[in-house]
Structure 1
Amino acid sequence: MLADPVDIARALGLPPGAEPAREALGDAPGAPERWSGGGRAVIVRRPLGAEAAQNHAAVFEALANAGFPHVPRLLGFSGLATIEEEVPGLTALQVEPPPGAAAAAIAALAAWHALPLREGLGWERSPDELLPECPPPLYRLGFAAPEREAAAPGFAAAREALLATPFGFAHRAATAASVLLAPGRAWLVHFAAAGFGPQLFDVAAFLLTSGLDAPARRVLAMEYARLRGLDPAATADLVDLAGIVWGVDELLWLPRRQVEALGDDAALAALHLAALRVERGMREPAGDSPAAGAIRRALWG
């Protein structure tokens, strides 16, 4: 149980002594919970680990205080657990994105990145420290020495290019699992990792894990650029490049996430689906970056 039932009853507006019903939304430790009563329902989240839970709560409160419209309404706290309104959205790991939902998610990320907030993790670190290791340990993904050596210059060029992209307030885990979608609408959730980071990684993470094909990813990356006042074509190339760098790092962390999700079949299936989409998306060009082309030729021919 992530929260005190008394706090939940208060958030639901139940009379004293009323007991809300609890439903775990997963079998892994720390999975969100749905509490209901009086014809209403709320979602409770408390990530595992004190730092993650504190960061999630602090970022959520900062977003609420800023009036950010692209998250569920924060109704209160129970210890470090957040109590949020239930919204009528599902992730792209559960359903095909409904009409207008992917564009709404991109608009939500663009609005997040424009927030003048200095909250969350990583603000003491430099952009160079926040980018993944270069070259990445590709041997852990099964690439042979000649492939790794051929890809190394491309990853070095990618690092230089990405260091010049926007860094600032970022979600830092904006995969499809963290974006709830409905027709023409999107809500960002899960703020345990939020803070200072490379903002194009958020865009790449959502686009790759949502199962969109390369042309659709490019269109949405260009829309993000327009919303941020950036060059559309150049930004789409950089989002494609960021997708390779982020995607490799995401696949390197996959075994740990699978261990953390043991016992939760739905969570494991979602991780597997996201990983398949990431691997497929990294192979399919959605831009014309020379560094991305060099990496693709070296690793996938």
Structure 2
Amino acid sequence: MLAEPADVLRALGLPPAAPYTVEPLGEAAGSPERWLAGDRSAIVRCPPTEEAARNHQAVFEALAQAGFAAMPRLLGFSGLAAIEEDVPGASALQVVPPPGALEAAVTALAALHALPVREGLDWEKAPADLLAGAPLPLFRLGFAAHEREAAAAPLEAARAELLASPFGFAHRAATAANVRLAPGRAWWVDFSAAGFGPQLFDLAALLLTSGLEAPARRVLAMGYARVRALDPDRTADLADLAGIWWGIDELLGLPRRQVAALGDDAALAALNLAAVRIERGIREPAGAHPAAAAIRRALWG
């Protein structure tokens, strides 16, 4: 168990002797648990490393104090574990998003990015520290030398554009796996990686892993821009460009995450589904940025 029973029962407003059951929500280390006691329930979340667990706690508290509503309520702590409200809904990796849910998720993401929160990881770093300047190791994804050479210049142009895009507080793992969706509503979860970062990577992560076609991704990106009072067309173009960079980076890190998920069939299936969606999505233009078009010509013809 991730938490002390007395701590969870106290968070649920129940006496220490109240009966309860614990339902693991995955088999890999750090998978959350659902605790059930009578008609009450809570999610206990404790990421597998101490740094991630402490970061999740600190960010969760900061967001609660800032009044961010699109996340579960924080009910309490038990050591390094956070005890959270058990919100309804499922992720877009589990179900087709219900009506209005992805719009709510994008609106909530825009609100998250606009918060005056300075909590989490990497605030001591500059944007250039977070987007590596060295050539991406595209050979690991099977691209031939002539494809990598043709992509080098547009990738460097993309990096320059992305370094000028909005940086600030970001979820930094804003995939479809980390947002719970219900009709017209969304709740963001798991802030273990949150901190300073490129905010359009969050938007790209959500749009690509939710399995949307390119036109729908563009519509949602423009909606994000309107909430933040940004130029809708330019923001949608930049989000599409960000998706290529973010998607390549995610695919490069996929083997390591697959190894970490061994033994957890559900987690491994979710990773593989997300990877298929990312690979398909980054090939399909959802914007008209010239650097994005040049990268796609170089890598996919």
Q: What is the distance in 1 between the residues matched to 2:55 and 2:240? A: 29
Q: Tell me which amino acid in the other structure corresponds to 2:255.
A: P
Q: Do 2:174 and 2:202's aligned partners in 1 also have CA atoms closer than 8 Å?
A: yes
Partner of 1:167: 167
Partner of 2:121: 121
Partner of 2:260: 260
Question: C-alpha offsets along residues 181-215 of structure 1, whole Å, 9 cap, x if unaligned?
Answer: 01000000011110000000000000000001000
Q: What is the distance in 1 between the residues matched to 2:232 and 2:66? A: 28
Question: C-alpha offsets along residues 31-78 of structure 1, whole Å, 9 cap, x if unaligned?
Answer: 000001020110010001110110011000111111210100000000
Partner of 1:29: 29
Q: What is the distance in 2 between the residues matched to 1:228 and 1:13? A: 38
Q: Summarize the Cα distance change of 1:146–1:92 in structure 2 as closer, same or farther, 3 Å threshold.
A: same
Partner of 2:143: 143
State the secondary structure of the residue aligned to 1:121.
Answer: coil
Q: What is the distance in 2 between the residues matched to 1:56 and 1:132? A: 25
Superposition pairs of residues 207-246 of structure 1, within 5 angstroms: 207-246=207-246
Partner of 2:58: 58
Q: Summarize the Cα distance change of 1:280–1:260 in structure 2 as closer, same or farther, 3 Å threshold.
A: same
State the secondary structure of the residue aligned to 1:169.
Answer: strand
Q: Do 2:19 and 2:38's aligned partners in 1 also have CA atoms closer than 8 Å?
A: no
Partner of 1:95: 95
Q: Tell me which amino acid in the other structure corresponds to 1:100.
A: G
Q: What is the distance in 2 between the residues matched to 1:68 and 1:225? A: 19
Q: What is the distance in 1 between the residues matched to 2:277 and 2:134? A: 23
Partner of 1:46: 46
Partner of 2:275: 275
Partner of 1:131: 131
Q: What is the distance in 1 between the residues matched to 2:300 and 2:13? A: 56
Q: Tell me which amino acid in the other structure corresponds to 2:246.
A: W
Q: Summarize the Cα distance change of 1:32–1:93 in structure 2 as closer, same or farther, 3 Å threshold.
A: same
Superposition pairs of residues 65-76 of structure 1, within 5 angstroms: 65-76=65-76
Cα deviation, residue 135, structure 1: 2.2
Please, what TM-score do these two structures have when normalized by structure 2? 0.99
Q: Do 2:109 and 2:203's aligned partners in 1 also have CA atoms closer than 8 Å?
A: yes
Question: C-alpha offsets along residues 119-173 of structure 1, whole Å, 9 cap, x if unaligned?
Answer: 0001000000111454210001111100000000110000010111100000000
Partner of 1:7: 7
Q: Do 2:25 and 2:31's aligned partners in 1 also have CA atoms closer than 8 Å?
A: yes
Please, what TM-score do these two structures have when normalized by structure 1? 0.99
Q: Tell me which amino acid in the other structure corresponds to 2:80.
A: L
Unaligned runs of 5+ in 1: none
Q: What is the distance in 2 between the residues matched to 1:136 and 1:298? A: 14
Q: Tell me which amino acid in the other structure corresponds to 1:149.
A: E
Q: Tell me which amino acid in the other structure corresponds to 1:88.
A: P
Q: Summarize the Cα distance change of 1:265–1:149 in structure 2 as closer, same or farther, 3 Å threshold.
A: same
Q: Tell me which amino acid in the other structure corresponds to 2:274.
A: A
Partner of 1:19: 19
Q: Tell me which amino acid in the other structure corresponds to 2:287.
A: G
Q: Do 1:5 and 1:19's aligned partners in 2 also have CA atoms closer than 8 Å?
A: no
Unaligned runs of 5+ in 2: none
Question: C-alpha offsets along residues 211-230 of structure 1, whole Å, 9 cap, x if unaligned?
Answer: 01000000000000111110
